[in-house]
Amino acid sequence: MHIEIQPGVRLFVDIEGAGLVPDGRSLREKPTLILIHGGPGFDHTGFRPFFSRFADQFQIVYYDQRGHGRSSPRPLDEMRLDVFADDVVRLCDALGVQRPIVLGQSFGGFVAQRYLARHPAHASKVVLSSTSHHFGLPRKVECFGRLGGPAAAQATRDFWEHPGPDTWAAYEQHCRHLYNTQPKNPDAGGWMIFKPEILFEHTRTELPGMDLRPGLVHVQCPVLVMVGDEDPVTPPEDAAEIAAAIPSRWLAGFKRFPGVGHGAWRDDPEAAEAVLRRFFTT
C-alpha cells in the first residue's frame, strides 16, 4: 500500500501481523516494530524474510524511505538525513502509531541516529544495527583490503571518494561479496529496487562530513547497538564509538557477533533473533 505522509510524498508500506489480537475476553494491542532499511538507494526487502518471525509479538512495519524503492519519486535535494528522520514521525502519525520500536540497519542506522537526536522521546526502544556515525573511510579501506586484498582496498577508496557508475561497478565486483560471511539468498537480488543516484547523492553531499555522535547525547529511550565482527563497511570500531556516545543510562547493550558481517541476522540468524527478542521484551 501507499501512505501519504506529506502532500505529494507517498511511501510504500507493508504491514505484517495484526495490531490487535484476541486475549481472553479482550483484544490486546501488540507493539509496533518499524524497520528502516539500508542504502541509501536500496529498499525494505533486505529485511525479508528474517523479520517475519517477530510477527508473533509485534506488528511489523516495512517501508521504502522517501524516494526509494516503491515509494513515489522525489527530488534528490530531499534525500537528507533530517528529512528521512522526520519521515519516521510522519509515517507514525499517518498510521496512528505511538511509541514504536525502531530498528535502523546500515544507512537506516544513520537515519535512526538522526531520529534519536531530533525526536529523542518518540520511540520506546531503538536498535542501531551495522551502522556508523561518520564517513570512516580509512577503516573501510583497511577492512576491505584485509578481506579482499589490494583490489578491494582500491575499489573501496575509489567509490567512496568518487561515487559514480564506473566506481560503483568496480566496488560491486571487488567488495560487495565481502559484506557478509555467509552466502546470500540467490533470489533476494530480484526483490530489490536499487536507485544508485540516491546513493551517489548522499555519498557526495552529507556523508563526507557526517558526525552523528553529538546528537546521541539527547537519547531518551533504551538503545541496543549491534555489529558483526567481520563487517567491513560499518566496522565494529564505529559501533563501539556509537555505544560510547550514548548516555550510559540509555545504552541497553553493545553486542558484537563473532564471524558475522553486515547485518547479523544474515550470517547468524539464531543468535541475532535471541539478542533482538531479549531486547524487545525487557
Residue 190 pLDDT:
85
Closest to 202 measured CA to CA, from 163, 168, 169: 163
Model confidence band, residue 85 (pLDDT cutoffs 50, 70, 90): very high
Closest to 29 measured CA to CA, from 58, 71, 51, 8: 58
Domains of the chain: 2-134+192-280 (3.40.50.1820), 137-178 (no CATH)
Residue 91: count other Cβ atoms within 10 Å of its Cβ: 21
Mean pLDDT of 75-89: 98
Measure CA of the first residue to CA of the last residue in the chain; give whole Å.
32
135-165 confidence digits (pLDDT tens): 999 999 999 999 999 999 999 999 999 999 9
Mean pLDDT of 93-104: 97
Mean pLDDT of 220-238: 98
Pick the more confident residue, 41 or 185: 41
Q: How far apart are CA 73 and CA 76, in angstroms?
A: 9
Model confidence band, residue 33 (pLDDT cutoffs 50, 70, 90): very high
Q: Is the per-residue pLDDT at 188 higher than 80?
A: no
Residue 184 pLDDT:
85
Q: Is the per-residue pLDDT at 37 higher than 90?
A: yes
Residue 145 pLDDT:
98
What proportion of the chain, given as a percentage, has pLDDT over 90? 96
Closest to 104 measured CA to CA, from 125, 77, 120: 125
b vs e for 50-85, b when ≥16 Cβ sit within 10 Å of the residue's Cβ?
bbeebeeebbbbbbbbbbbbbbeebebeebbbebbb
Model confidence band, residue 119 (pLDDT cutoffs 50, 70, 90): very high
Mean pLDDT of 21-28: 92
Task: Please provide the average confidence, as pLDDT, over all residues in the chain.
Answer: 97
Pairing, β 125-129 against β 9-16? unpaired
Mean pLDDT of 14-33: 93
Model confidence band, residue 257 (pLDDT cutoffs 50, 70, 90): very high
Q: How far apart are CA 203 and CA 179, in angstroms?
A: 18
CA dihedral angle for residue 82, residue 46, residue 128, residue 99, rounded to 10 degrees: 70
- Cell numbers found for residue 6: 506529506
Q: Are 207 and 131 in contact (CB under 8 A)?
A: no
- Cell numbers found for residue 260: 558475522
Q: Is the per-residue pLDDT at 189 higher than 90?
A: no
Q: How far apart are CA 251 and CA 222, in angstroms?
A: 6
Residue 187 pLDDT:
81
Mean pLDDT of 166-171: 98
Q: How far apart are CA 153 and CA 150, in angstroms?
A: 5
Closest to 197 measured CA to CA, from 63, 83, 39, 44: 39
State residue 275 phi and psi, 5-degree precision. Answer: -65, -45
**Is the model's pTM score more than 0.95?**
yes
Mean pLDDT of 60-81: 98
